[in-house]
Amino acid sequence: MGGLLILPWLLLLAELGGAEAGGGTAMAMALRAEKTAAGAAPSKLFFKRDVTLTVSVTVGSPPQNLSMVLDTGSELSWLQCPGPAFRPNLSATYLAIPFANPACRDRTRDLPSPPFPNPSNRLCRVSVSYADGSSADGDLSSDVLRLGQAPAVRALFSCVQTPPSSPGAAGLLGLNQGSLSFISQMGAKKFSYCISAGSSDGVLLLGGVAPLVPLNYTPLVRISLPLPYFDRVAYSVQLEGIRVGAAVLPIPKAVLEPDHTGAGQTIVDSGTQFSFLLGPAYAVLKTEFLRQTRGLLAELGEPGFAFQGAFDTCFRLPAAAAPPREKLPTVALMLRGGAEVAVAAELLLYPAAGQLRRGGKEAVWCLTFGNSELVPLESYIIGHHHQQNLWVEYDLQLARLGFGPVRCDVAAQRLARLV
């Protein structure tokens, strides 16, 4: 992203300290190292991006330092306990919630499955399933959580013994719009993050600061009626079209909108790595991308191959060479209201680990848009890989999401020097 995009970020950062705008004092957090700022607001947290985004959190009394996955696609936060992650017996403020407690019934209303009594201890047992087939089953619990210099929040979460796979993390921090999400429990009206490319720190802001970069907004899509395939507490937006280079794909409007069952919603999800399109839209994107890269990229030519089971637009490249990123067409997801998520250069192709051809001379690289029907999913997903070098703002008060391109590594460095 060009230097012109950095300038407004730098100017606004100078005015950020202690700013408030409709949601209280802003708090900035890093999704990586456990760096916390001394002095005045905003406090900050930096995060690490790999297969997941992870943020440092302290839990309990005395505080235990833990790493949690940052997931805007989930409601219920969970921690692995007891065990090497969180040790409830060492926290004087830990509470397990009995099934008879009203919180077990009232606070779990947005979960897809109702709670049930744990037969071994009569505690409130909750279960959450994920699209990859994994699940998190645990007892509803409560303790004091704190991110950066933000005030401590007594929050409900699930204490699980056998967690889903989450490399390098002790648990998951749910940030969707459900009543049990951490954002809802802390009462935040706005939060935002910026995911850096590569191994640089990203930054997470909690609170109601004015936009730090110029943003284009798209309204959240809300459907009040319960539909079988519509997630009412997800951050759902309306996909209006897809552009490859200068070509807007000929995708019927009905393909991009939720149908009568709720299938076809578009979700912005920091807990998913790549992005997914429903089959009809994916097929059109695949055809056009192959057309525009003919002669530039050599197709893999193996109809049965799909990276991670869902990415089947793949290519063969010399093992020692990088893809011709600067020559690839940009793929833009066009959202209602004029906002868009533009995916270019190094974000378009991803190496399929361990996949070599011709005796190791060629590597396999795949387009980072997957076919939802191969997962299977009933929705469009915009994952965190395609949110790199974007300032993404979740404005809950005005029911909208904002997107603005910016060099996130520079933004995080400047914010780290604020206080």
Helix (H, G, I), strand (E, B) or coil at 291: helix
Neighbours of 43 (CB within 10 A): 24
Of 66, 106, 97, nearest in space to 84 by CA: 66
Strand partners for 55: 68
> Which of 71, 312, 395, 409 is the catalytic position?
71
d(CA 201, CA 70): 14
Cα 362 → chain centroid:
32
Of 148, 141, 168, nearest in space to 77 by CA: 141
Rg (CA), the chain: 22
Give just the sign of the alpha carbon dihedral 256, 261, 262, 264: negative
d(CA 132, CA 164): 10
Do 216 and 48 touch, CB atoms closer than 8 A?
no
> Which of 139, 269, 312, 409 is the catalytic position?
269
Q: Measure CA of the first residue to CA of the last residue in the chain; give whole Å.
A: 26
Neighbours of 129 (CB within 10 A): 13
d(CA 390, CA 134): 29
Residue 110 annotated in active site? no
Residue 269 annotated in active site? yes
Amino acid at 218: T
Residue 192: is it exposed, middle or buried by C-beta count within 10 angstroms (0-12/13-18/19+)? buried
Element (H, E) at 133: none
C-alpha angle 216-415-218 in degrees, rounded to nearest 5 = 15
Which residues are catalytic, by number?
A: 71, 269
